[in-house]
């Protein structure tokens, strides 16, 4: 008997992430300080190393035991997820003591969530993908509820856990049904088996049910309408930096896994299901934007805005061309950094253990804290899609690709939605610059300030010079399409 250790270097980034999580978990036990800044630094270092290892170990198409691939797609997401997680860690280094989080397991849990995400984005087998998803979810459930003395935090954790467990069950049922028909859980083999059957015939209904359940499970994780109901409550109740992590890294990971499934395993069926994606995309962005208009709580507003952005991203998944896929990958990066900035500013306004979350709390920020206000403005304008920021470039690529694929109506809906979204994003700007309030005393928050400023800078840079990331995105995307 031989073990499949022929190309174990494929697993190095994953193994390193898990090992580093264990290391940080152990070191944290001996931490003397209750602020855990050193633990944060250690975590950030590990995440940077994960990005470095995956960049250096890039071997296109190499697969370990048919379960995990380290292709350009995986590497793109390994780096993106590591960067987003580093941002989340830097935000947390000030936020954790501010919010009164006394559990040092906070950082190891983020590392384990990242490990789960890495598995998700690089898995080429449905079972492995599911295990990654569960590892990530398990860590995030706990992170959402880590402020045990906060009712809202408890509510967020419980809601996310119960609904998430239900979604996982659906996903698993879908995988089982697909396995029953195709006899495999490996993405490529599933695609071959589907292609060789008449999948629209009445006796393949089980397969379509499986596909439906699989998509429903993922729709929950990416917060697409009608599976979005948990999002605002969970984002509002979870610690702000955890919400930032969920809205950016978790969403990027779930989208990556969804892309792999939709464009590899289900590629033969998707032409007949593009209407489903169309409906999901249109309803998700419209619902997200119109409900966001009515929010007075900025955290909830950002939650609905994240739902709306899921809709925009689904436009790219619907179009499913090479350009659209690359645009989705770019948009996930752009959306990630600008949301880190927005949630980061919210975290920076934490006072006496309570985040200031109402739009009225932003009054006078332009005078009292000009840097934070500038960061928030950049992020809001970018989320809205104002040139020359990253959000505009991302939307431009996405919508052009969808137009070229012939989805004119969907793009019109998306553009109208972007116009509507301007109303609530600009509402924050109005409060910051055209309303005044007395200055508050704030303790120095160096890590938070650094992280949000960096996020805003990256947002501007991604918008002014999109080609390096866009090039990497299109290489990454073509690696799963042309791959085995």
Partner 1 sequence: MSPYLFYPLACLTIAGALGVVLNNNPVRSALSLVATLFLLAVYYIALQAHLVAALQIIVYAGAVMVLFLFVITLLNLSPDPADRTSPLFGAAALGSALLLAVVLGRALWATTLPGAANTPLPEGFGTTVVLARQLFSEYLVAFELTSILLLVAVVGAVVLAKRDPSPADMDAPAPGREA
CA 243 to each of CA 35, 294, 342, 390: distance values in angstroms, whole numbers, following the listed order: 20, 20, 11, 21
> Binder to partner 1 among 117, 128, 246, 257 (CB under 8 A)?
128
Q: Distance between CA atoms of 196 and 475, rounded to whole angstroms?
A: 29
What are the tokens at 140? 């995030």
Does position 146 interact with partner 1 (CB under 8 A)? The reply is yes
CA atoms in the 13 A half-sphere facing the CB of 72: 16
Q: Residue 360's CB: how many other CB atoms inside 10 A?
A: 12
DSSP letter for each residue of 199-222: TTSGGGHHHHHHHHHHHHHHHHHT
Rg, Å, the chain Cα set: 21
What are the tokens at 206? 């089980």
Mark the segment that binds partner 1 (CB under 8 A) among 227-235, 317-325, 439-447, 473-481.
439-447
Does position 165 interact with partner 1 (CB under 8 A)? The reply is no
Does position 361 interact with partner 1 (CB under 8 A)? The reply is no
Does position 354 interact with partner 1 (CB under 8 A)? The reply is no
- Cα angle value 419/386/345 (rounded, 5°): 100
- Please report how close the Cβ of residue 132 comes to partner 1 at its closest, in angstroms: 7
Q: Distance between CA atoms of 298 and 358, rounded to whole angstroms?
A: 6
- Cα angle value 349/351/356 (rounded, 5°): 50
Does position 145 interact with partner 1 (CB under 8 A)? The reply is yes
Mark the segment that binds partner 1 (CB under 8 A) among 63-71, 274-282, 357-365, 430-438.
63-71
Site for partner 1 in 183-212 (CB under 8 A): 183, 202-209
Q: Distance between CA atoms of 41 and 107, rounded to whole angstroms?
A: 10
Residue 64: DSSP 8-state? E
- Please report how close the Cβ of residue 126 comes to partner 1 at its closest, in angstroms: 10
Does position 4 interact with partner 1 (CB under 8 A)? The reply is yes
> Binder to partner 1 among 13, 16, 18, 355 (CB under 8 A)?
18
- Please report how close the Cβ of residue 262 comes to partner 1 at its closest, in angstroms: 21
> Binder to partner 1 among 24, 74, 94, 369 (CB under 8 A)?
94
Mark the segment that binds partner 1 (CB under 8 A) among 129-137, 232-240, 373-381, 461-469.
129-137
> Binder to partner 1 among 23, 27, 60, 131 (CB under 8 A)?
131
> Binder to partner 1 among 13, 40, 46, 97 (CB under 8 A)?
97
Does position 419 interact with partner 1 (CB under 8 A)? The reply is no
Contacts of 374 (CB under 8 A, 6+ apart): 456
Does position 138 interact with partner 1 (CB under 8 A)? The reply is yes
Does position 268 interact with partner 1 (CB under 8 A)? The reply is no
Stated as kind and residue range, the H or E segment containing 88 is: helix 72-98
Does position 265 interact with partner 1 (CB under 8 A)? The reply is no
Does position 341 interact with partner 1 (CB under 8 A)? The reply is no
User: What angle, 0 to 180 degrees and rounded to 10, lies between the N-to-C axes of helices 126-144 and 151-182?
Assistant: 170
- Please report how close the Cβ of residue 205 comes to partner 1 at its closest, in angstroms: 4
Q: Distance between CA atoms of 347 and 158, rounded to whole angstroms?
A: 22
Q: Distance between CA atoms of 149 and 127, rounded to whole angstroms?
A: 36
- Please report how close the Cβ of residue 140 comes to partner 1 at its closest, in angstroms: 10
Does position 65 interact with partner 1 (CB under 8 A)? The reply is yes
- Please report how close the Cβ of residue 4 comes to partner 1 at its closest, in angstroms: 6
Helix (H, G, I), strand (E, B) or coil at 228: coil
What are the tokens at 210? 């499986």
CB distance 174 to 217 below 8 Å: yes
Does position 432 interact with partner 1 (CB under 8 A)? The reply is no
> Binder to partner 1 among 29, 30, 149, 438 (CB under 8 A)?
149
How many amino acids of this chain bind partner 1 (CB under 8 A)? 63
**Chain residues that interact with partner 1, rule: CB under 8 A:** 1-4, 11, 18, 22, 25, 33-35, 64-68, 94, 97-98, 100, 102-103, 105, 108-109, 112, 115-116, 119, 125, 127-128, 131-132, 134-135, 138-139, 141-142, 145-146, 148-149, 157, 180-181, 183, 202-209, 351-353, 441, 443-445
């Amino acid at each position: 008997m031989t073990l499949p250790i022929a190309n174990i270097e494929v697993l190095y980034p994953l193994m390193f992430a898990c090992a580093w999580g264990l290391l940080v978990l152990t070191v944290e036990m001996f931490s003397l300080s209750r602020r855990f800044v050193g633990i944060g630094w250690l975590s950030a270092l590990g995440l940077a190393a994960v990005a470095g290892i995956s960049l250096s170990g890039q071997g296109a198409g190499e697969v370990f035991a048919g379960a995990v691939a380290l292709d350009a797609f995986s590497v793109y997401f390994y780096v993106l997820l590591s960067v987003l997680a580093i941002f989340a860690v830097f935000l947390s280094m000030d936020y954790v003591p501010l919010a009164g989080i006394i559990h040092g397991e906070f950082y190891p849990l983020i590392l384990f969530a990242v490990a789960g995400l890495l598995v998700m984005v690089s898995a080429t087998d449905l079972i492995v993908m599911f295990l990654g998803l569960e590892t990530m979810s398990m860590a995030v459930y706990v992170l959402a509820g880590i402020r045990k003395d906060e009712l809202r935090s408890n509510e967020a954790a419980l809601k996310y856990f119960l609904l998430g467990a239900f979604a996982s069950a659906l996903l698993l049922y879908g995988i089982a049904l697909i396995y029953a028909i195709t006899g495999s859980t490996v993405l490529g083999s599933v695609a071959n088996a589907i292609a060789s059957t008449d999948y629209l015939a009445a006796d393949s209904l089980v397969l379509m049910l499986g596909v439906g359940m699989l998509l429903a499970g993922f729709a929950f994780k990416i917060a697409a309408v009608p599976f979005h109901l948990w999002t605002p409550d969970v984002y509002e109740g979870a610690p702000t930096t955890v919400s930032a992590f969920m809205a950016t890294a978790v969403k990027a990971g779930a989208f990556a896994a969804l892309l792999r499934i939709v464009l590899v395993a289900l590629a033969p069926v998707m032409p007949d299901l593009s209407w489903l994606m169309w409906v999901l995309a249109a309803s998700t962005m419209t619902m997200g934007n119109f409900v966001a208009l009515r929010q007075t709580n900025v955290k909830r507003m950002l939650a609905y805005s994240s739902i709306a952005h899921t809709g925009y991203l689904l436009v790219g998944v619907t179009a499913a061309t090479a350009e659209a896929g690359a645009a989705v990958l770019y948009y996930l990066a752009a959306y990630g950094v600008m949301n880190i900035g927005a949630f980061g500013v919210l975290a920076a306004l934490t006072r006496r253990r309570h985040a200031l979350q109402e739009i009225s709390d932003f009054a006078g920020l332009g005078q009292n804290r000009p840097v934070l206000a500038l960061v928030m403005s950049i992020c809001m304008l970018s989320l809205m899609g104002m040139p020359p920021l990253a959000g505009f470039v991302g939307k431009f690529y996405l919508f052009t690709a969808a137009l070229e694929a012939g989805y004119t109506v969907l793009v019109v809906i998306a553009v109208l939605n972007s116009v509507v979204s301007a109303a609530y994003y600009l509402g924050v700007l109005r409060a910051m610059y055209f309303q005044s309030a007395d200055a508050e005393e704030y303790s120095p928050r160096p890590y938070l300030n650094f992280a949000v400023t960096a996020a805003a800078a990256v947002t501007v840079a991604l918008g002014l010079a999109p080609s390096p990331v866009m090039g990497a995105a299109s290489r990454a995307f073509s690696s799963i399409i042309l791959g085995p």
